[in-house]
Structure 1
Amino acid sequence: MASLSKYVADSAGFTEKGAEWLQHLVGDWNLVSDLLRADLVLWIQREGKPTAVAHCRPATGSTVYYEDPVGLVLDEGEAPEIWDLLGGGAAARTARTVRREGREARGLVVPVRKNGVTLAALAVESPLQEGTLSDSAVKQEQLGTRLLRMLEQGAFPIEGAPIPPRRGAPRVGDGVVELDDQGVVQWASPNALSAFHRFGIDGDMAGITLAELSTEVLQTRVPVDESLPLVLMGRAAWRSDMQARGGTLSLRAVPLTENGQRIGAVILVRDVTELRRRERELITKDATIREVHHRVKNNLQTVAALLRLQSRRMKSDEAREALTEAMRRVSTIALVHEALLQGSQEAVYFDEVIDRCLRLAVDAASASVHRAGTPRLTDTQVEVRTERIGRAGSIRAEEATPLALVVTELATNAVEHGLSETGGTLTVRSDRTGSHLVINIEDDGVGMESATPSGLGTNIALTLVQGQLGGTLTWQNRPEGGTRATIEVYLDPIST
């Protein structure tokens, strides 16, 4: 099924601003649908025939369309009021009975205009009512009818309103308040009254300005959103939160206009106390996790520094090398925690970790090696270049730590055993397909003998790959010279 933008793009006669206006309408028309408890269907002229390009169902009542009408094309003689309206005719002011999927419904068609130009036709269709409507339903229908008049005048949707809605934005079913042009409450739905009563506003609200009622219960120590007074007076199409008595109300104002003059406003209200509490908990949790990673990283760097100092005091070359290797491994784990500090979730963008592992592996190698781009300490040093090809993507922290250790061990082995005498290029190639990740660590050095590499570093890498990552680690000589170590693992998905 094509989208609204696709339908409009394929239709002649639509300007860019006209297309944006229809997109803006569809982004906010659920307000009209909920107030009128009616389905809304947007019709445009396409290839000479009316075509349904968007549909909205009400959240406050039953739908008349079980099958989505988007894409439906009217033939000559069907729905003449839509044909007439899209052909430049006048809008019908009275509703008529229509049949939708074998049932009778009440239908009204209004023009969607902007700057005096009819862009589309909006069909407003609702089930036939049985019995008498409640006072609340009558009031909501009156407010919805006002919005339809604004739609005809090109005043709705309201330009500058924040669409799409922010998290926790109120809907008609949450609570509705009607204000006059002075911000005085004319009517409030039962749900709106209940929400305000929970915040300490007692009794009937009618006849008093909403701003005055709210000021009495606002928490004085809590910063107030600068847009809140405009929202409470209904003067700006905006959203704001109001905190009182330990709770939070989310308010949205929709100014009502008539011929360009503001005549009142619709205020939608929702109790978002629990939602905001959970958001604060998540923010606190995120800050705590970041602080933990920061402290772990600092502690690991301190341990690495102590190992470095201790290695310098060692008289035995074997002891000095062992401490240096331990320092490098601790530093690698610290790299993962530093990467976790940069992200917003418990995942690591591993390509950045690989870059750091390569630098660490070369810098921690024997004194006969220097990394490309750094000063040569002695004339006998050989140069090692590093490069990363492909993409590993984001990896869970639990898997990133062992994988970073493995990459560092294999890269260090490649430098010390393959490139320390001749120099050359150390390359890491990553190939990620879904959860399947293959990483090749290659050098163009002297290559390995027939025996598989052994040693503490190799045993650590094998244990981590097979034990913690459930993958495989293999070595082979490259046909063009040098050695290739291949890590193959299947990663767990990152939870969101």
Structure 2
Amino acid sequence: MSTLSDLLAEHTHLPGGAVDHLQRVVGEWQLLADLSFADFLLWVAQTGAAPMVCVAQCRPTTASTAYSEDEVGSTVTDVDAPQVLRALDEGEVFRDEQTRWYKGVPLRMEAVPVTWRAQVTAVLSRSTNLAQPRFPSPLEIAYLDCADDLCQMICDGTFPMREELTAVHSSPRAGDGFIRLDPAGNVAYSSPNALSAYHRMGLSTDLAGRDLAEVTRSLVSDSFDAQEVASRLRSTLTGDSTLRMEIDARGATVLLRALPLHPRGEPTGAAVLVRDVTEVKRRDRALLSKDATIREIHHRVKNNLQTVAALLRLQGRRTDNEEARHALTESVRRVSSIALVHETLSMSVDEEVNLDEVVDRLVPIMADVSAAGSRVQVRREGGLGVLQAERATPLVMVLAELVQNALEHGFGPDDAGEVVITAKRSARWLDVLVHDNGSGLPEGFSIEHSKRLGLQIARTLVDSELGGSLGLHPASGGGTDAVLRVRLGRRPRLGPDVR
């Protein structure tokens, strides 16, 4: 499915700043849809004289949808929806007083121009399903008043605002808890869920008519956080900033988000979203504890593998048989390769490995155990990127075997040369070329019939663990090219398409 950026690039010539603004609008419009009890469609004018096209769609979680089918890619003309074209041309919000029908569903549509730097770049249509009549409860009135203010701010070009970077990555929804503040900062309306969240924080009375900044300050456990949240709530009323903050109060953790409401430049208060995340934080702490345990396991595995490598190295030094010493030396390198992956995982929180860091640390180890290592330079070009741990370990081992094979069989003890690891990564594939300018492949060489242990290990890992393909070919300018292709994402079933 095409993303919003793809569709905007396909249908428009909007500048990057306008595209970023539309991305922010789409990032906020689930809140708008829930507050409006309505569907939102984003319309843009296509390059040329073509009709406007829908590039994004959002359905409410608080009401029945107005559009049962996906509208992305559909178009409208002046006849289909004249208010959408008027909003684009005149830069004003237009409401359709007549009922429209969509596949047997009665709709009321409103067109909201999206303004960026005093220019209308798109239009939002807000469509309400009239098949199920709604009763004007206090909650619905508060929701709709707030939605109207935010839509007018989109028309004014003042919403969404660029929020400051914050450590809080989630956002409350309207249904989690909603509070409407008047221009003085007093609570004009609080939903039952918002009141329950404040009761869990220790409030024993109602919120109606009270100064929310002062009430929140008195409940927060930490004095510095209490002062900060009160100050930022008051700043929101003046439109100087927004608020997105987690606060702790008497064992409860609550996420607050405050949005200033300044339609047409007139301050009308603020909308505050409240979400009780106490249980979520408890689970997060449990996951952090589990992650720390997993990292400690990786650290201990790394230590054990390094001990095994040291023992093998010691045994190799005490062995008189040259063939046995060579086999032990290669075993040291292979164990060290796996140890490097576990060392990386011991410092990671998401079971992912930065392959570039591991390969760059592995290259000196391979050069040390190679007879030609002192005069052959090994370097990397391009980025291998990040890979899941279960696939990073075999991939690192394959790369180590290919580089070691180039060092060992491409160059003599006194030869000088170069081994280059070139990586190219796309959305679907990771392509790696290990090129050396050494002596090249022997006559009649075939990787399928090669008896070299390193290449046999590499082929086995590529086939069974990576689901990719591997080949060795003479390089055009002399030397050898080892070509590795690995499919990214979910590992496919092995078949002829991966060989």
Report the TM-score range of the alignment, normalised by the length of the smaller protein: 0.7 to 0.9
1:360 aligns with 2:374: no
TM-superposed deviation, 1:263: 2.7
CA distance in 2, matches of 1:30, 1:348: 35
Match of 2:136 in 1: 133
Which piece of structure 1 moves more, 116-125 or 179-188? 116-125
Task: Report the structure, 1 or 2, having the larger helix content.
Answer: 2
Match of 2:343 in 1: 338
Match of 2:41 in 1: 41
CA distance in 1, matches of 2:165, 2:137: 31
Match of 2:30 in 1: 30
Match of 1:157 in 2: 159
Match of 2:147 in 1: 144
Which piece of structure 1 moves more, 28-37 or 17-26? 17-26
- SS of the residue 1:240 aligns to: strand
- SS of the residue 2:175 aligns to: helix
Residues 329, 482 of structure 1: CA spacing in aligned structure 2 closer, same or farther, 3 A cutoff?
farther
CA distance in 2, matches of 1:335, 1:264: 56
TM-superposed deviation, 1:139: 2.2
- Please tell me whether the aligned partners of residues 475 and 484 of structure 1 are also in contact (alpha carbons under 8 angstroms): no
- Please tell me whether the aligned partners of residues 348 and 395 of structure 1 are also in contact (alpha carbons under 8 angstroms): yes
CA distance in 2, matches of 1:387, 1:359: 10
Match of 1:381 in 2: none
TM-superposed deviation, 1:166: 6.0
**Counterpart amino acid of residue 193 in structure 2:** N
TM-superposed deviation, 1:464: 8.0
CA distance in 1, matches of 2:219, 2:474: 75
CA distance in 1, matches of 2:369, 2:96: 83
Residues 444, 87 of structure 1: CA spacing in aligned structure 2 closer, same or farther, 3 A cutoff?
closer
- SS of the residue 2:133 aligns to: coil
Structure whose alpha-carbon radius of gyration is higher: 1
TM-score normalised by the chain length of structure 2: 0.73
Match of 2:109 in 1: 107
CA distance in 1, matches of 2:382, 2:366: 19
Which piece of structure 1 moves more, 54-63 or 435-444? 435-444
**Counterpart amino acid of residue 470 in structure 1:** S
Match of 2:216 in 1: 214
- SS of the residue 2:100 aligns to: strand
Residues 37, 298 of structure 1: CA spacing in aligned structure 2 closer, same or farther, 3 A cutoff?
same
1:228 aligns with 2:233: no
Residue of structure 2 aligned with 1:243, choices 239, 243, 248: 248
TM-superposed deviation, 1:186: 1.5
CA distance in 2, matches of 1:149, 1:116: 14
Which piece of structure 1 moves more, 204-213 or 346-355? 346-355
Identity %: 35
Structure 2, unpaired ranges of 5+: 492-499
Superposition map of 1:318-467 within 5 A: 324=329, 327-341=332-346, 345-350=350-355, 353-354=358-359, 356-366=361-371, 369=372, 371-372=374-375, 384-386=376-378, 396-398=388-390, 400-401=392-393, 404=396, 408=400, 415=407, 419-425=411-417, 427=419, 444-445=438-439, 462=456, 466=460
CA distance in 2, matches of 1:18, 1:157: 13
- SS of the residue 2:219 aligns to: coil
CA distance in 2, matches of 1:482, 1:116: 61
Residues 170, 304 of structure 1: CA spacing in aligned structure 2 closer, same or farther, 3 A cutoff?
same
Which piece of structure 1 moves more, 28-37 or 330-339? 330-339
- Please tell me whether the aligned partners of residues 447 and 481 of structure 1 are also in contact (alpha carbons under 8 angstroms): no
CA distance in 2, matches of 1:64, 1:481: 65
**Counterpart amino acid of residue 199 in structure 2:** H
Residues 337, 243 of structure 1: CA spacing in aligned structure 2 closer, same or farther, 3 A cutoff?
same
- SS of the residue 1:169 aligns to: coil
Superposition map of 1:151-300 within 5 A: 151-152=154-155, 154=156, 156-161=158-163, 167-220=169-222, 224=225, 228-233=229-234, 234-235=236-237, 236-300=241-305
TM-superposed deviation, 1:185: 1.4
Deviations 1:166-201 (A, max 9, x none): 632111121110112232212111222222223332
- SS of the residue 1:444 aligns to: coil
CA distance in 2, matches of 1:253, 1:442: 60
Residues 195, 484 of structure 1: CA spacing in aligned structure 2 closer, same or farther, 3 A cutoff?
same
Which piece of structure 1 moves more, 204-213 or 76-85? 76-85
TM-superposed deviation, 1:218: 2.2
Match of 1:51 in 2: 52
CA RMSD of aligned residues (A): 4.9
